[in-house]
């Protein structure tokens, strides 16, 4: 076969290939589907666990088995992404409702990673099994897997808006999604309200779901911004940690300020970073009322204890912590999801609309399957009841038949050609028989004990129940109001069994105010050694060890903690550092490199350190260059140009 060469513009081919790649990442990896709120890897892990029969009441199975099975059958993109997904779905501090019951080390809120998959085990949570995977065979479409050797569900028949309940995070090509988790009970209430009134405004819906509910608790401090976020699907939520105050029971006991809940954004290494930041604030005297810090967190929850001095200003400490640490942070909201194969930013009403349309489709499919099953059952029951009424004729036909085929032909079409009746008188009645194929098969398979009187009564009772179900299912399929009733009742049952109390408090919190100029003024001594390490000593320490300090340090400057240190280099540049930004240290502490505190890179020699405008008022600086150029500069001119 001759070789075929396709000529194309290189830039167009690259653009087309990149667009195909980016859309694949967006729709098949990073962005959740608006219907079930799951990414493909999450959906495949849950479906595989369902196929492995890892029910909530069955033993746990090795995570490595789950990961390998999922990768081999449905998700050939590497085991690390699958295991990470399994781990995250089991972490109650990340998900509004955990979907996997993990057994072993599945990580911690403080950033500890999960153990290797060969050491951990998992099974489905009851919530996932009942709400996410029930009626799979009756509702959603199944599609071929990546190599067309298996079938997998296109989406899972999730019966609650998972996009809201568990939120989502993902980064694709040129776009990302960030949806906060919400409270299950409140989400169900808002769905039921939307079913009753699809035209309800965002403000009306928010009466039932006032805002996100983060599993770490904390405080949402910008309540007034939430309606705009739910309207557009985009915005920023201000999160704060929560404090508790424990007063000392005895005179010798210190009062304690307890950080009991943290912002959702601090999950992981953020807690250790918080402890370091608080320690730095204590060392720099910005938190002078804190005398000790301890992290007493455990599996029961967060508990970071700050021991306070007597008569400490607790409100001031809270404001400093909010202002200077991640105890006040922002959660960027971008409610992006896949709708009809395309990424779309959805507001609250958009999410509810897509979810409800999905529920209508699933409910219709489910009840069509159930209705057909009952219609088939009715057909068989009516055939058996009719056969019981003419059982002598049926027996005569069976006795006169040479094989099963002849007997079935007589039962379905009255064909008596090959029937040799042992007893005369049945031939004419046999010609009138017209059972259906399904009825004839059931009659031929019927056992003789079914002819007992009680069994016949049971058959009639079962037939009445079948007729009732047919009428019920037909009514549901024929009326949107009835379908709404069924969906609402189902949601109410889920709420009753699985709903949890709200954890996150919502308010319009006052702005955290911290005026650094209001810091208690203290005399300190700035010191810098020959290696460029600096620190601040308190006045008493310096005066007790003045001779040692003056001998060992290159620069020693007395100043106030509210001053700025200004220093000049041999090249004529001037740099400034706030004394409050210089870590306090003990006499033998090494200190901090000065280049870490300013733009000074440490490569030029410093020739002069000064501090305090009041101390230098009226002074004149004399500058001289290596070319013997000299000038005088009044200090007030420097202050005007540098802000000193």
Say how many C-beta atoms besides its own lie within 10 A of residue 369's C-beta. 15
- The reply to whether 119 belongs to the active site is yes
Alpha carbon distances (Å) from 467 to 390, 460, 615: 23, 11, 100
Cα(94)–Cα(108) distance, integer angstroms: 10
One of 119, 194, 230, 264 is an active-site residue; which one? 119
Q: How far apart are the two ends of the chain, measured CA to CA in Å?
A: 83
Residue 90's region, left for phi above 0, alpha for psi from -120 to 50, else beta, is alpha
Q: What are φ and ψ of residue 421, in 5° steps?
A: -70, 130
3-class secondary structure, 607: strand
Query: How would DSSP label each residue in 473-505?
Result: HHHHHH-HHHHHHHHHHHHHHHHHHH------E
Tell me the H-state helices in 26-153.
40-51, 63-73, 79-90, 126-131, 136-139
Q: What are φ and ψ of residue 332, in 5° steps?
A: -75, 125
Cα(322)–Cα(259) distance, integer angstroms: 12
In our burial notation (b when 16+ CB lie closer than 10 A, e otherwise), range 132-155 reads bbbeeeebbeeeebeeeeeebbeb
CA geometry: angle at 415 spanning 414 and 421, to 5°? 95
> Which distant-in-sequence residues (6+ apart) come within 8 Å of 391 by Cβ?
451
Cα(499)–Cα(522) distance, integer angstroms: 54
Say how many C-beta atoms besides its own lie within 10 A of residue 426's C-beta. 21
Decide the pairing of beta strands 100-103 and 121-124: antiparallel
3-class secondary structure, 302: coil
Q: Tell me which residue of 223, 98, 212, 114 sits closest to 504, measured CA to CA.
A: 212
CB–CB of 215/96 below 8 Å?
yes
Q: Tell me which residue of 89, 96, 95, 88 sits closest to 113, measured CA to CA.
A: 88
Tell me the sheet residues that pair with 100: 124
Helix/strand/coil percent split, the chain, to 5: 45, 20, 35
Cα(551)–Cα(156) distance, integer angstroms: 75
CB–CB of 163/179 below 8 Å?
yes
Q: Tell me which residue of 571, 576, 573 sits closest to 610, measured CA to CA.
A: 576
CB–CB of 338/34 below 8 Å?
yes
**CA quadruple 59, 65, 70, 72: dihedral, nearest 10:** -150
Query: How would DSSP label each residue in 17-59?
Result: HHHHHHHHHIIIIIS-BTTT---HHHHHHHHHHHHTT--TTS-
CB–CB of 536/585 below 8 Å?
yes
Tell me the sheet residues that pair with 169: 178
Q: Which residue numbers are catalytic? A: 119
């Amino acid at each position: 076969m001759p070789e075929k060469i396709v000529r194309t513009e290189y830039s167009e081919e690259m653009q087309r290939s990149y667009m195909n790649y980016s859309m694949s990442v967006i729709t098949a990896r990073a962005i959740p589907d608006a219907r079930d709120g799951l990414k493909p890897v999450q959906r495949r892990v849950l479906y595989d666990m369902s196929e492995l029969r890892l029910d909530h009441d069955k033993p746990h199975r090795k995570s490595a088995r789950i990961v390998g099975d999922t990768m081999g059958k449905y998700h050939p993109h590497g085991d690390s992404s699958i295991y990470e997904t399994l781990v995250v779905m089991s972490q109650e501090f990340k998900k509004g409702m955990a979907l996997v019951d993990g057994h072993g080390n599945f990580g911690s809120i403080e950033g500890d990673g999960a153990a290797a998959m060969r050491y951990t085990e998992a099974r489905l949570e009851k919530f996932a099994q009942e709400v996410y995977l029930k009626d799979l065979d009756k509702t959603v479409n199944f599609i071929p897997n990546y190599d067309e050797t298996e079938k997998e569900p296109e989406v899972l028949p999730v019966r609650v808006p998972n996009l809201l309940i568990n939120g989502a995070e993902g980064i694709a090509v040129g776009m990302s999604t960030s949806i906060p988790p919400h409270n299950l009970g409140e989400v169900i209430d808002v769905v039921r309200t939307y079913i009753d009134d699809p035209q309800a405004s965002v403000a009306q819906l928010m009466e039932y779901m006032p805002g996100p509910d983060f599993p770490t608790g904390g405080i949402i401090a910008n309540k007034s911004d939430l309606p705009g976020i739910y309207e557009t699907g985009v915005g920023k939520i201000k999160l704060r940690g929560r404090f508790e105050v424990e007063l000392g029971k005895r005179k010798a006991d210190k009062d304690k300020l307890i950080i009991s809940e943290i912002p959702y954004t601090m999950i992981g290494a953020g807690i250790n970073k918080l402890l370091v930041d608080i320690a730095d604030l204590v060392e720099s005297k910005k938190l002078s009322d804190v005398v000790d810090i301890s992290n007493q967190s455990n599996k029961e929850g967060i508990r970071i204890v700050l021991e306070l001095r007597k008569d400490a200003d607790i409100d001031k400490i809270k404001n400093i912590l909010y202002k200077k640490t991640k105890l006040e942070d922002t959660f960027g909201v971008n409610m992006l999801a896949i709708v009809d194969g395309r990424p779309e930013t959805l507001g609250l009403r958009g999410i509810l609309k897509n979810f409800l349309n999905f529920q209508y489709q699933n409910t219709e499919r489910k009840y069509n399957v159930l209705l057909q099953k009952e219609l088939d059952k009715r057909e068989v029951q009516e055939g058996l009841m009719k056969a019981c009424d003419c059982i002598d004729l049926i027996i005569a036909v069976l006795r006169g038949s040479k094989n099963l085929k002849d007997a079935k032909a007589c039962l379905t079409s009255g064909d008596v050609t090959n029937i040799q009746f042992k007893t005369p008188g049945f031939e004419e009645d046999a010609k009138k028989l017209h059972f259906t194929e399904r009825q004839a098969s059931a009659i031929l398979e019927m056992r003789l004990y079914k002819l007992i009187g009680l069994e016949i009564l049971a058959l009639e009772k079962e037939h009445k129940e079948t007729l009732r179900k047919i009428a019920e299912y037909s009514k549901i399929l024929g009326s949107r109001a009835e379908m709404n009733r069924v969906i609402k009742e189902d949601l109410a049952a889920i709420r009753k069994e699985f709903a949890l109390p709200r954890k996150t408090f919502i308010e319009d919190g006052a702005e955290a105010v911290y005026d650094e100029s209001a810091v208690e003024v203290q005399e300190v001594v700035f010191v810098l050694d020959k290696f460029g390490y600096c620190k601040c000593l308190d006045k008493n320490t310096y005066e007790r060890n003045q001779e040692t300090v003056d001998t060992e340090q290159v620069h020693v400057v007395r100043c106030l903690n509210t001053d700025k240190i200004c220093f000049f280099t041999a090249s004529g540049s001037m740099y400034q550092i706030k004394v409050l930004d210089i870590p306090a240290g003990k006499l033998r502490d090494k200190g901090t490199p000065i280049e870490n505190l300013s733009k000074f890179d440490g490569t030029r020699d410093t020739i002069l350190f000064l501090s305090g405008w009041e101390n230098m008022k009226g002074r004149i600086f004399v500058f001289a260059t290596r070319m013997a150029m000299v000038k005088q500069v009044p200090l007030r001119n420097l202050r005007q140009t540098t802000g000193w």
